[in-house]
Amino acid sequence: MAGSSFGTLFKISTFGESHGGAVGVVLDGAPPGLELTEADIQKDLDRRKPGQSSVTTPRQEPDTIHLMSGVFQGKTTGTPILMILYNKDAQSSAYDDIKDKFRPGHADFTYLQKYGLRDYRGSGRASGRETSARVAAGAVAKKILASRGVVITAWTQRCAGISCETVDYSVIEKNPMRAADLAAAAKMVPIIEQLAKDGDSVGGIVECRITGVTPGLGEPVFDKLEADLAKAMLSLGAVKGFEIGLGFGCVDLHGSQHNDAMDASGFKTNNAGGIVGGISSGEEIVFRIAVKPTSSISKLQQTVDVAGNEMEIRTIGRHDPCICPRIVPVVEAMAALVLEDHYKRQKALFE
């Protein structure tokens, strides 16, 4: 299947389906001698796994990571690292009644058009479950980046019409929304719980800020750093928008207002979001993504079946009423993969 690999010198290839035997990833490009254990990876997988709270799917997957190659006596060998997570709680029978119907918002129709067949059990490769493999690889990238002084922090900035009014990193992992504002999170949760009872879902905005990135990363034309970050984020099935710095907020400004002036100490503002001309400026990298409402809802919707017959459908199963809390570690993982790849490309260019 084309399109299952990402990266240039720090490269991943993911595999597996939502209701198959396992999902996993092959990571190539990790340096030899890096101390790496399954616990290093598990902590991020635990942040992404299902069944965490009333605003996530009740599916109970342990998401236990298994390091199968590329690590010996607690250190990476420099060879490809194979990581597997076995599926333990798939309930494929929930899809038997709708296997010939196209679920609105899902890739059912487009997958069938492209391949001539599709895995109807929980969306197969199109399922958000695939992102667990990305998180596993991203955990390795984050560990390497930490040694470079790079810190990546994402959180739910807006959901259910409620926005964070403050940003406190210390509370992100202390509320089920992974919001940076406890008061805002407290308002989001009951709205999402009611939507779940109504068989509906909601989307939101996730913000990510990255500190410690050296200036000079990124290529000036097609492989701009923000372009690769955008591709990484938009490769996530739930993401429908990307903006960096002021993003769409720049459209009503004058150049004199939007330009980041400089003095002897550096940039006076950071409207560009830490990337200028496709290359990191050394300032904090700031971007946001738009997360769509979960497509799998039990409300009655209009659709057609594979023969083109009009009908109604309810998607019955265990699904997140809001994807934002669980996509936060995925956003961090994908950002880490992009950055470590560009660090390696920069080193290769000048050595």
Q: Kindly state the tokens that stand for 311.
A: 């009908």
Closest CA to 56 of 247, 234, 311, 296: 296
| 85-126-57-37 Cα dihedral, nearest 10 degrees | 20
The DSSP element (H or E) to which 344 belongs, if any, is helix 324-349
Calculate what percentage of the chain has a pLDDT beyond 90: 82
Which phi and psi angles does 287 have, rounded to 5°?
Answer: -145, 165
DSSP assignment of 4-22 equals: -EE-SSSEEEEEE-TTSSE
Angle between helices 131-147 and 324-349 (to 10 degrees): 50
Q: Please, what are the domains in the chain?
A: 92-349 (3.60.150.10)
Q: Residue 2 has what pLDDT?
A: 78
CB contact set of 3 (below 8 Å; sequence gap of 6+): none
Q: Residue 176 has what pLDDT?
A: 95
Q: Residue 90 has what pLDDT?
A: 65
Q: Residue 58 has what pLDDT?
A: 67
Q: Residue 151 has what pLDDT?
A: 98
Exposed (0-12), middle (13-18) or buried (19+): which is 123, by Cβ within 10 Å? buried
Q: Residue 1 has what pLDDT?
A: 59
Amino acid at 110: T
Q: How far is 202 from 158, CA to CA, in rounded Å?
A: 11
CB contact set of 36 (below 8 Å; sequence gap of 6+): 30, 67, 71, 74, 75, 76, 81, 140, 143
- Series of mean pLDDT values for 10-residue runs along the chain (351 residues): 90 92 96 96 91 73 92 97 88 78 92 89 84 97 98 98 98 97 98 94 97 97 97 97 97 97 96 98 98 93 95 83 96 98 94 72
DSSP assignment of 147-195 equals: HTT-EEEEEEEEETTEE-SS--GGGGGGSTT-BS-HHHHHHHHHHHHHH
Q: Residue 19 has what pLDDT?
A: 84
Amino acid at 235: S
